[in-house]
Structure 1
Amino acid sequence: MESASGCICRVLLFPTEFYPMAQPTAQEQYMLELVNRARLDPTAEAVLYGIDLNQGLLSGTISAAQKQPLAFNPNLIGSARDHSQWMLDTDTFSHTGAGGSSAGDRMAEAGYAFTGSWTWGENIAWRGTTGTPNVTTSVGSQHESLFKSSGHRRNMLNGSFREIGIGALTGEFSGYNAVMTTQNFAKSGSKVFLTGVAFDDGVIDDDFYTVGEGLGGITITATRQSDGATVQTSTYGSGGYQVALAPGTYEVAFSGSGLNQTIRQTVTIGSQNLKLDLATDQLPTPATNPSPNPALSDLAPESPALTTIGEYGNVTLNHQWQTVILDKTYSNPVVIVSDPTRNGGDPATTRLRNVSGDSFQIRLQEPNYKDGNHTNEQVSYMVVEAGDWQLSDGTQLSAGTTSSNRLTSAGFDSVNLAGFDAAPTVLSQVQTYNGSDWVITRVKDRAPTGFNFGLQEEEALNQGSHVSEAVGWLAIAAGVANDGDTLLQSQTTGRRYASDRATVAFNANFDAAPSLIAKLGSFYGADTANLRLDSIGKASFGVRVAEEQSLDAELNHTQESVVFLALEGQSGILSGLAA
């Protein structure tokens, strides 16, 4: 997000907008009503979707206070639709658009004038099906997914924004019949808006706008009481409207287009937008947002229905055990954790214990020959429900657990896979702490039908066997993918990484540093080793293969491949279908 500040002259009364008149569809209006419902009562929206308001964020990042409602801006509608169409046309899911443009670039190009104090933001989402997409249920599901995602939720509940454009378009995307949606948020200058929607509540009697209930062509006249100055607009076909008003007290009249009476309401415009709805089954209408909120059952997802299959996040840890509380509850969770950063020079790996349906414990472990104390490091983690899954773009994903006590010096165990057309990206992790000796996993012989793995203790002890441990694994089709809301990339690199620091580049076009789970992806060198990471950015990350010195002093390791899974943002959920 970008921002700037400045000074412009104060205007007492703004005339009717003369932007190019892009009008929202009923589905785009419905999405705006959902967004404004969330802004009216952020805590209630979080409760509705079963999350904490600041889930995935620092405490207090989003306040529970009511946020001003957003008003449609035709130019922002145009920029949002243009970007949605570009993503469909190019089969690209990214905030970076045509010609390398940012969302702010596209808003300005569409005619939105950034003046005075301004700011902007953007959310994007898509949802696909092999059948005919239901746009209404798709945008409802997209709203839920965006609200549950911490970064998107911050945009949605940013109190500085005043205007919005939504572009929800249909087309082919990644082999699916898709609904591609862009939300462009902005604030420019000092304009304040009266906004709302006129509807008859005749499709679903729930005191909330539903597609098919909008009343178009109703005239809205705002008359300022201090001097009689008036400004007039009319509702879109979707039922929505907005009008810029200078501060003051106004009589607002709704008339025409089938209304059997003129409805009047007095409102006071201050420094923030105000929402005034007309629900013709409940006249007169107070100047508040529609309430109560509809239940999730009213927003039934289209078939096939995506379900939450996992979540990811980041944690700072050291040698002390700490507990990670999960956002969801899982029946058979598989936890995969990245090899750590390299803030401390001593060897270190991650160990888990007490993996349960809603939490796990994690710490750093040094080899036995070290003192065991380690400075803070950062790791990303992924929790997946065990099973075979397919993301909305068709990407295959499988996860499971097995058990082993076999060290690499004694051989490898096998895991069978099904459903992959090529060798997948494979990540593995010891899930238990049955044995206190340092232990990691090594993977080799990846194929569409399976892979081999072994346990590895520090080199001086890597003979015989280790206490039997549960081992979790995750296999995902290699490449850039997304689940409809989250951009991700999984890859196994070529054999070109060793003890010297090197850089691994992302193919995915991330807007910021992603959550990164990276490990050794091969077994060309038998000495005990794992990865250490640094400089994780939006385009690449630094890596080196790190041995330990329990047996000898040398640290040189032969070239290995690196396996990684990068997911957009610092936390989020992953959705999919049972395969």
Structure 2
Amino acid sequence: MRRTHRFASAGTLAILVLCLGCDTGSRHDDVDGTAASGVTGPTGPGGGTAGSIRLSRLAPAQGSPQGGTSVTLEGTGFQGALIASVHFFDPSSEVPGSANEANGVRVLSDTELTCETPAHAAGVVDVRVVLQNGAFATLNNAFTFDPNAPGGGVPARVADFGDPTPWAVELLELANRARRDPAAEGRRLGVDLSPGAGYAPRPPLSHNGFLAAAAAKHTGDMIGQNFYGHWDLAGVGPTGRILDSTFDLHASYGTDRASNRTENIGVGSGNQFSSPQAVHDAFIVDAGTNPPKHRDSLLGKSAASRDAREIGMGVRFGETANPTPPTQTNVGVAGTPLAFSPNHWVTQEIARTKRDRALISGVVYNDDGDGICEAFPPYRGNSGGEGRGGVTVTLTHSSGFTLQTQTSSAGFYAFETFVDGDFTITIEGAQTTVRVAGDNVKVDHVNGQIRTY
């Protein structure tokens, strides 16, 4: 169902210029009532004694149930203490013992020691340091064994890919096709996207649910409050929205809540902007925008988007703005009141996390032959698309580690990797092995066959 590109004469298109330049830990104040404070024990090797210890903090505060997370305990009195063991245990069902004992305990200084977590069932646990004379200090509810925790000795986790709409998936597919071969995309649209113009192939983007929430909020605000712009009526910009979504935004984007280094927006009426293909084409052509910032952000040419790995979209077709919006109190800072009546709205947020790790993502769908997972008109409600939801996708690392997820309602899935190397993706009996070497990888399942990019 690939529609031929065209711009109809009816309708108005408005695209605002993209405005570029747009420690975890568990703290506890005290210790268990039976803490090792003021306890003296026998002299040990090197002359150490079981003196007073106190625990104040553990970081990181989460890790994989498979164990192997390197953690640092902070407190006082470690240098002279005779530490026998460190335990991660659930006091409601366990006692400290060999089954929940940490590995590799090392005293770094009087205020720090490190160890590696043991394997443990998912859940919140206490952390206890035991001295040779049996005295101990405890941090209550200090660590969470989380199957989706980053790192922790595991090579990957299920990514925060959310539940993108079919039309958001189609927009992502179109963007990734253009990123894979910008020159071909340019020939289709009559735009120079050759290497000579600065457009090189870029790795695929993955969908992120937190970025999508930030984008959807802004699209909803523009419709509900009848304005158009990167800043809402309180003056909050894209960075502020993304931070509010709890997306773990990379430090390179800064923390200025009014800044924008991540966002494309557009509105249109009539036949303009009325489908995912029309939205994509408008952003890539970027007519009247110099430099073409929407295009450059999607294709990874701009400085802000060059290293981006994920995208989230708020896309709403066939909706008109609130005719009686709230009073605009921030004119000149917030969005511009609309002089026409658009009924198609798009916000895109494109960014990377602080971890900045490669993602393996893709779409499971039944293709009609054009190589794109399309949405079906009218692009709202339950109109659906070619994507297949609820399909099990299995990731296997070369170490034998295995992880599974199910595709979203529109057929999307994603894993975040923590190490480079070989990963095998298996979908309904079809499988392929891909090598992660820093960049995102795309593995689709199309009409029963695996396709990689």
Q: TM-score range by the shorter chain?
A: 0.5 to 0.7
Letter aligned with residue 66 of structure 1: P
2: CA distance, partners of 1:82 / 1:125:
14
Indicate the residue corresponding to 1:14 in structure 2. Answer: 156
Deviation digits for residues 49-98 of structure 1 (CA, Å, limit 9, x no counterpart): 101128xxxx96x6332101100110001000000111111221101124
Q: CA deviation at 1:115?
A: 3.9
Q: CA deviation at 1:22?
A: 4.2
After superposition, the Cα gap between the structure-2 partners of 1:2 and 1:273, relative to the gap in structure 1 and judged at 3 Å, is: farther
Letter aligned with residue 40 of structure 1: R
Matched, 1:221 2:394: yes
Indicate the residue corresponding to 2:413 in structure 1. Answer: 241
Indicate the residue corresponding to 2:432 in structure 1. Answer: 265
Deviation digits for residues 284-307 of structure 1 (CA, Å, limit 9, x no counterpart): 32312xxxxxxxxxxxxxxxxxxx
2: CA distance, partners of 1:187 / 1:139:
23
Alignment RMSD (CA, Å): 2.6
Indicate the residue corresponding to 1:209 in structure 2. Answer: 373
Matched, 1:148 2:285: yes
Indicate the residue corresponding to 1:343 in structure 2. Answer: none
Task: Tell me the secondary structure at the aligned position of residue 100 of structure 1.
Answer: coil
After superposition, the Cα gap between the structure-2 partners of 1:117 and 1:223, relative to the gap in structure 1 and judged at 3 Å, is: farther
1: CA distance, partners of 2:201 / 2:171:
18
Indicate the residue corresponding to 2:275 in structure 1. Answer: 138
Task: Tell me the secondary structure at the aligned position of residue 29 of structure 1.
Answer: helix
Matched, 1:51 2:218: no
Q: CA deviation at 1:144?
A: 0.7
1: CA distance, partners of 2:407 / 2:244:
26
Indicate the residue corresponding to 1:192 in structure 2. Answer: 358
Deviation digits for residues 197-235 of structure 1 (CA, Å, limit 9, x no counterpart): 11111xx3222222121111111111101x111222221
2: CA distance, partners of 1:208 / 1:139:
11
Indicate the residue corresponding to 2:425 in structure 1. Answer: 252
Report matched runs for 1:45-124 at 5 Å.
45-53=185-193, 63-115=198-250, 120-124=261-265
Letter aligned with residue 217 of structure 2: D
Indicate the residue corresponding to 1:230 in structure 2. Answer: 402
Letter aligned with residue 185 of structure 2: E
Cα pair 1:117 1:188 within 8 Å, conserved? no
Indicate the residue corresponding to 2:335 in structure 1. Answer: none
Matched, 1:27 2:167: yes
Cα pair 2:174 2:372 within 8 Å, conserved? no
Deviation digits for residues 427-463 of structure 1 (CA, Å, limit 9, x no counterpart): xxxxxxxxxxxxxxxxxxxxxxxxxxxxxxxxxxxxx
After superposition, the Cα gap between the structure-2 partners of 1:74 and 1:2, relative to the gap in structure 1 and judged at 3 Å, is: farther
1: CA distance, partners of 2:235 / 2:209:
23
Task: Tell me the secondary structure at the aligned position of residue 449 of structure 2.
Answer: coil
2: CA distance, partners of 1:176 / 1:64:
35
Task: Tell me the secondary structure at the aligned position of residue 43 of structure 1.
Answer: helix
Cα pair 2:210 2:247 within 8 Å, conserved? yes
2: CA distance, partners of 1:265 / 1:185:
28
2: CA distance, partners of 1:117 / 1:272:
18
> Mind listing any 5+ residue stretches in structure 1 that lack a counterpart?
256-261, 289-579
Q: CA deviation at 1:263?
A: 1.2
Q: TM-score, normalised by structure 2?
A: 0.54
Indicate the residue corresponding to 1:400 in structure 2. Answer: none
Cα pair 1:127 1:138 within 8 Å, conserved? no
2: CA distance, partners of 1:151 / 1:116:
22
1: CA distance, partners of 2:387 / 2:352:
26
Figure out how many residues of one structure are paired with residues of the other and give that number.
Answer: 262
Letter aligned with residue 252 of structure 1: I
- Please point out which of 172, 182, 196 is paired with 2:320: 172
After superposition, the Cα gap between the structure-2 partners of 1:235 and 1:48, relative to the gap in structure 1 and judged at 3 Å, is: same
Letter aligned with residue 76 of structure 1: L
After superposition, the Cα gap between the structure-2 partners of 1:118 and 1:276, relative to the gap in structure 1 and judged at 3 Å, is: farther
Deviation digits for residues 95-115 of structure 1 (CA, Å, limit 9, x no counterpart): 112411111111111111124
Indicate the residue corresponding to 1:482 in structure 2. Answer: none
Cα pair 2:267 2:342 within 8 Å, conserved? no
1: CA distance, partners of 2:264 / 2:342:
20
Indicate the residue corresponding to 2:346 in structure 1. Answer: 181
Q: Which has the higher contact order (CA 8 A, sep 6+)?
A: 2
**Which structure dedicates a bigger proportion of its chain to strand?**
1
2: CA distance, partners of 1:195 / 1:249:
15
Task: Tell me the secondary structure at the aligned position of residue 106 of structure 1.
Answer: helix
1: CA distance, partners of 2:366 / 2:249:
36
1: CA distance, partners of 2:404 / 2:359:
13
Report matched runs for 1:431-510 at 5 Å.
none
Letter aligned with residue 29 of structure 1: V
2: CA distance, partners of 1:2 / 1:195:
30
Percent of residue pairs bearing the same amino acid type: 27
- Please point out which of 136, 155, 162 is paired with 2:309: 162
After superposition, the Cα gap between the structure-2 partners of 1:118 and 1:231, relative to the gap in structure 1 and judged at 3 Å, is: farther
Indicate the residue corresponding to 2:93 in structure 1. Answer: none
1: CA distance, partners of 2:297 / 2:199:
14
Task: Tell me the secondary structure at the aligned position of residue 320 of structure 2.
Answer: strand
2: CA distance, partners of 1:222 / 1:43:
32
2: CA distance, partners of 1:80 / 1:183:
6
